[in-house]
Amino acid sequence: MKKSQHTFLFSKTNYALMALGMVVILMGFYIMSGGNDEDLTKFSEEIFSQRRIFWAPLIVILGFVIEVIAIFYSPKKKSKEKDNE
């Protein structure tokens, strides 16, 4: 039987960057959550904090940028031509 050689689509660096991007996205959503009050008839001004309105969405967008970079990142491979010279 012929053995097929399987290769991954991305390198180890790409997968590490994807994991980092996912952690950053989840961190942004965690920062965005909260503001739950026990009394449902009482309005909480905490939902309009700068942390939830500005920083959390910015962190989520940063996570997606990291994901795009992780997908398009191509590690430089050593060429055999340089070794032969």
Condensed to tens digits (0 to 9), the pLDDT of residues 27-55 reads: 999 999 876 767 777 877 788 888 999 99
Give Cα separations from 46 to 17, 27, 28, 29, 57 (angstroms): 33, 19, 17, 16, 16
Give the pLDDT confidence score for residue 26 in this predicted structure: 98
Per-residue pLDDT of 59-84, as tens digits, reads 999 999 999 999 999 988 766 555 55
Q: 12 is written with which tokens?
A: 């180890």
Give Cα separations from 4 to 12, 18, 48, 68, 85 (angstroms): 21, 27, 56, 30, 32
Please report which helix (H) or strand (E) contains residue 56, including its range.
helix 56-72
Give the pLDDT confidence score for residue 79 in this predicted structure: 61
Give the pLDDT confidence score for residue 1 in this predicted structure: 66
Backbone angles phi, psi at 8, to 5 degrees: -80, 155
